[in-house]
A and B are shown apart, each in its own frame.
Chain A
Amino acid sequence: SAVISQKPSRDICQRGTSLTIQCQVDSQVTMMFWYRQQPGQSLTLIATANQGSEATYESGFVIDKFPISRPNLTFSTLTVSNMSPEDSSIYLCSAPAGEEGETQYFGPGTRLLVL
């Protein structure tokens, strides 16, 4: 299994500002993922973060809005840039671990409110 922590756990931000979310895994993992969960909705994958290469973004998400860093095999950051109220969501990071790496483990999430 894997234990994943995120910082901050929650934040309230003003529109037009940026917030960087940190994700730390207690073991080395090849792939890390960032998801967004809008209020009352399911999870949507933002991007895949691999160490040593650019993040791969899903349709509808762009690097300028959600820049991602992956400096090593246990850490990643997601920045939400030039925020608007529509960015108010829970942001979760995850990583596959365990037997054959099939299981995704999730961080507790970062609850973001943009005013």
Chain B
Amino acid sequence: GDSVTQMEGPVTLSEEAFLTINCTYTATGYPSLFWYVQYPGEGLQLLLKATKADDKGSNKGFEATYRKETTSFHLEKGSVQVSDSAVYFCALGGWGSNYKLTFGKGTLLTVNP
């Protein structure tokens, strides 16, 4: 079945540092890939998505590229802020899976001033 493997956390960075959170997946077919963010005490918000190979999703300075050859969708940001402190979830899904989402375990990011 489908699965998502996400970099173990927690990750602690200083403000303005570079962020990478690794995500690899196993899936049948051609899923869409997503990054969701969960701020403390809140629900999930879509951060970015990519629906086909070589697509790059971007939002709020975060980027991730759908790499079919390496089955990866790594999240990157060039300069993190304290307000980026949250849990980040990589997920796959889309119409091919009847819109069900399979999530990674989540990565807790803490950014210190």
Binding site for B on A (CB under 8 A): 31, 33, 35, 41-45, 48, 92, 94, 96, 100-109
Cβ–Cβ < 8 Å partners of B49 in chain A: 102-103
User: Which residue of chain A lies nearest to B36 when distances are taken between CB atoms in the complex?
Assistant: A106
Among B32, B42, B94, B100, which residue has the most Cβ atoms of chain A within 10 A? B100
Among B42, B44, B49, which residue has the most Cβ atoms of chain A within 10 A? B44
- Chain B residues bordering chain A, tally (CB within 8 A): 22
Cβ–Cβ < 8 Å partners of A96 in chain B: 99
Binding site for A on B (CB under 8 A): 32, 34, 36, 42-46, 49, 51, 89, 93-95, 98-101, 103-106
- Are the C-beta atoms of B99 and A104 separated by less than 8 Å? yes
- Are the C-beta atoms of B98 and A105 separated by less than 8 Å? no
B25 to nearest A CB, angstroms? Answer: 14
- Are the C-beta atoms of B95 and A106 separated by less than 8 Å? no
Given A42-B89, A48-B100, A96-B99; A104-B43 close (CB under 8 Å) = no
CA distance A96 to B46 in the complex (A): 12
- Are the C-beta atoms of B45 and A42 separated by less than 8 Å? no
Cβ–Cβ < 8 Å partners of B46 in chain A: 103-105
CA distance A97 to B58 in the complex (A): 19
- Are the C-beta atoms of A42 and B43 separated by less than 8 Å? no
Cβ–Cβ < 8 Å partners of B34 in chain A: 103-104
- Are the C-beta atoms of A42 and B105 separated by less than 8 Å? yes
